[in-house]
A and B are shown apart, each in its own frame.
Chain A
Amino acid sequence: MRNNKLFTAILILMFIFLLGPFLVIIIASFGSETIMRFPPKGFAMTWYEKAFAIKMFRTTFLISLKTGLAATFTALVMGIPAAYAMVRHNFPGKSKVELFFSAPAIVPGLVVGFALLRFFIYYTKMPVIMGLYLGHTAILFPYTVRVVSASLRNFDPSVEEAAVSLGSSPLHSFIAVVLPNIRSGVIAAFILAFITSFNNVPISLFLTGPGVSTLPIQMLVYMEYYFDPTIAALSSILIVFTVIIIQSAEKVLGISRYM
């Protein structure tokens, strides 16, 4: 049993390393000084007020939100049928298609963003916001296929076959029988894809232009010029939101299964 004690100690230390920094930043965000100090001196909400007062953060938050929702929706619309085809059918070249569908998750995001900038924005003169939306959709697609596939595999195909043999059309049986049964997988895919888009930096880094930028990129830009704890306050808000979303998604959907 000596072994298990050592291993448990390692597990605890790992959690301190993984989650400790979050606690530290939340505490530091309430400091009253203009420098980042830990432990902070004094208590103030100044940095939270400042974070909300800066217009660029509000504008880019809305762009991140809209891009995330639009890209997630598009990726799901293409990803659900693709996942269905991959799980329910066998066809020649299936493993190649599988590799192709997961490629956007393998190729470095920085390169994808750079390529989209060079080709679409400079070469075909596409608006930056369009490039941002398309780039995000491309990297979310593999997530939606993977998560929806996982939940389709847990759904007994004979239920659907019964519906078809009772005279329901394949499309109707998909909507009426399959979709409701993989609902939690689709919701999990939606949450994971949206968070991935909302947090993305590598793709968005190259796809910014006049009036177009995302919240994470704007935070990086701000950090280049100011060292005050405004970013700590903003980060703390994002951390708390993520904790709430992930914990409730774990309770309701068991979201870590899909990672």
Chain B
Amino acid sequence: MNQINIKRTLLLLLLPGSVFLLFFFVLPLIFVFTESFHGSTGELTLLRYTEVLKSKQFHFVYLRTLKIALIVTPLAVLVAYPSAYIITKMTAGKKSVMMSLVILPLMTSPVARTFAWIVILGRFGLINQTLAAVKVTSEPLRLMYTEGAIVAGLLQLFMPIMVLTLVSALENIPEEVEEAALSLGSGKTGTFFRVLVPLSFDGLIMGVTLVFTGCITAYVTPAILGGSKVLTLSTLMRQEALVLMNWEGATVIAVIMIVTTLVLYNTLRLMRPRSL
């Protein structure tokens, strides 16, 4: 094939997807973005931003959302690292079984997955019934509609993502590296922390990025487990738009959500050793 032919083929292959995304993804986003800088008569203004940024409720919800992400992410790393390590050491068949179990929470309907936590944390749920049976508490504890409930739900959703990224990162480390460290006298613990963790650091940062940004934008988990009592950025945005019909406010929150994710995404990318 000559050069011109290759160019034409490439264009034909890439065009449908690109045009589709331009029209049905980029265009609406640009519309909302420009809309957020316009006042009621169409003049350019930052009024919508100042209004949201002044609001005490917004500050509170924004910080709470970050706090939840800051709790969930390290917990996910702490559990996922050892688990991923054990999984990479398994035989191919066993590993496949483990991986299919790990991805189950990711593939299950988020409503179904989150509803299960109501059965565990509810007034007559597993935890309260157990506490009542062993007579620790006389009154059922309020576990639903708390930040803790949201943390539990998000952890179940994002742990699999962390395990998946860490398994593929650890798999890329040749077996000999670990053996060499061990035979040179580095203990099991030393090898893990001083050899395997640094060598899989790139995967770790990737997992942290996915989990952290995921926590900030997650909707179903805070909607069911936090409700209107414990709002996060995404449930606040939904409330502004669909309950209070405050489109201006919702638009600004949408833009702030994207900016926050992009800033986090790029900051964490700088930490990657082999950043692209």
List chain A residues, Cβ under 8 A from B24.
Answer: 116, 120, 134-135, 137-138
| Inter-chain contact total with CB atoms closer than 8 Å | 260
Say whether B17 contacts A115, CB under 8 Å.
no
A8 within 8 A of B: yes
Distance between Cα atoms of A21 and B154 in the complex (Å):
13
* In the complex, chain A residues whose CB is within 8 Å of the CB of B63: none
**Given A134-B24, A243-B104 in contact, is the A100-B83 Cβ separation under 8 Å?**
no
* Alpha-carbon separation in the docked complex, A37 to B10 (Å): 59
Report if A114-B250 is in contact (Cβ < 8 Å); known contacts: A36-B118, A85-B10, A202-B219: yes
Partner of A119, one of B27, B116, B164: B27
Q: Which of A21, A100, A109, A234 contacts B116 (CB 8 A)?
A: A21
User: Range of interface residues on chain B?
Assistant: 35 or more
- Interface bin, chain A: 35 or more
B1 at the interface (CB under 8 A from A): yes
The answer to whether B124 touches A37 (Cβ under 8 A) is: yes
In this complex, the member of A6, A114, A201, A255 whose beta carbon has the largest number of chain B beta carbons within 10 angstroms is A114
Q: Choose from B29, B89, B117, B159 the contact partner of A18 (Cβ within 8 Å).
A: B159
Q: Which residue of B lies closest to A243 (CB)?
A: B104
Q: Is the CB of B111 within 8 A of A235?
A: yes
> Which residues of chain A come closer than 8 Å to B31, judged between CB atoms?
115, 118-119, 123
Nearest chain B residue, comparing its CB with the CB of A202:
B219
Known A36-B118, A138-B24; judge A246-B107 contact (CB<8 A): yes
Q: Does A24 contact B (CB under 8 A)?
A: yes
Instruction: Kindly provide the distance from the CB of B116 to the nearest chain A CB, expressed in whole angstroms.
Output: 4
B37 to chain A, nearest CB (A): 14
Contact residues of A with B, CB < 8 Å? 1-4, 6-8, 10-11, 13-15, 17-19, 21-22, 24-25, 28, 35-39, 77-79, 81-82, 84-85, 89, 91, 95, 97, 100-101, 103-104, 106-112, 114-116, 118-120, 123, 134-135, 137-138, 141, 145, 170, 195, 198-199, 201-202, 205-206, 216, 219-220, 223, 231-232, 234-236, 238-239, 242-243, 245-247, 250, 254-256, 259
* 6 A-B pairs closest in CB distance: A235-B112, A21-B116, A256-B99, A108-B217, A119-B28, A250-B100
B residues in contact (CB < 8 Å) with A: 1, 6, 9-10, 12-14, 16-18, 20-21, 24-25, 27-29, 31-32, 35, 79-80, 82-83, 85-87, 89, 96-97, 99-113, 115-120, 122, 124-126, 129, 155-156, 159-160, 163-164, 188-189, 192, 217, 219-220, 223-224, 234, 237-238, 241-242, 247, 250-251, 254, 257-258, 261, 265, 276
